[in-house]
């Protein structure tokens, strides 16, 4: 149980385009989903916390207008990187929290490369 999927697993795009990443909890309803970013050989960095039906809470330094998060249902959250630039190239990972627990289960991640 507690499986989280992400799509796509890898994306290459041109500078200035927007990219949408989906995160789904497959066998449980996720009250809360989290979005992280990880640069090579660096630590996980929490970008935002997403609660179903409400606006995401962004961490300090994360631009909410650049990284649009939508959590429209209990099993789906999306992250849209708008007007992507090469410095946005990174490994984006979501996690989901089942109700009644503070355990986070991670998706497999999406590797974004912006040319």
Partner 1 sequence: QKEVEQNSGPLSVPEGAIASLNCTYSDRVSQSFFWYRQYSGKSPELIMSIYSNGDKEDGRFTAQLNKASQYVSLLIRDSQPSDSATYLCAVAMSGAGSYQLTFGKGTKLSVIP
Distance CA 59, CA 37 (A): 12
Minimum distance from CB of 90 to partner 1 (Å)?
A: 13
Subset of residues 32 to 61 that bind partner 1, contact rule: CB under 8 A = 32, 34, 43-44, 46, 49, 51, 57
* Interface region with partner 1, contact rule CB under 8 A, candidates 19-27, 67-75, 78-86, 96-104: 96-104
Distance CA 79, CA 21 (A): 5
* HEC readout, 58-73: ECCCCCCCCEEEEEEE
**Whether 63 contacts 84, CB under 8 Å:** no
Indicate the DSSP class of residue 86: G
Site membership for partner 1, residue 93 (CB under 8 A): yes
Q: Is 25 helix (H, G, I), strand (E, B) or coil?
A: strand
Handedness of CA 25, 11, 113, 62 (dihedral sign): negative
Site membership for partner 1, residue 5 (CB under 8 A): no
- Nearer to partner 1 by C-beta: 14 or 54? 54
Q: What x/- string results for residues 7 through 26 when contact with partner 1 is judged by CB under 8 A?
A: --------------------
| Residues lying near partner 1 in the complex (CB under 8 A) | 2, 32, 34, 43-44, 46, 49, 51, 57, 91, 93, 97, 102-109
């Amino acid at each position: 149980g507690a499986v989280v999927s992400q799509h796509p697993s890898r994306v290459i795009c041109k500078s200035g385009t927007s990219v949408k990443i989906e995160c789904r909890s497959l066998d449980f309803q996720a009250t809360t989903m989290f979005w992280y970013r990880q640069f090579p050989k660096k630590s996980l960095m929490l970008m935002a916390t997403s609660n179903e039906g409400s606006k995401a809470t962004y961490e300090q330094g994360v631009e909410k207008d650049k990284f649009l998060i939508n959590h429209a249902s209990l099993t789906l959250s999306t992250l849209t990187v708008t007007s992507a630039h090469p410095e946005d190239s990174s490994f984006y990972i979501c996690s989901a929290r089942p109700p009644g627990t503070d355990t986070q289960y991670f998706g497999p991640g999406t590797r974004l490369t912006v040319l």
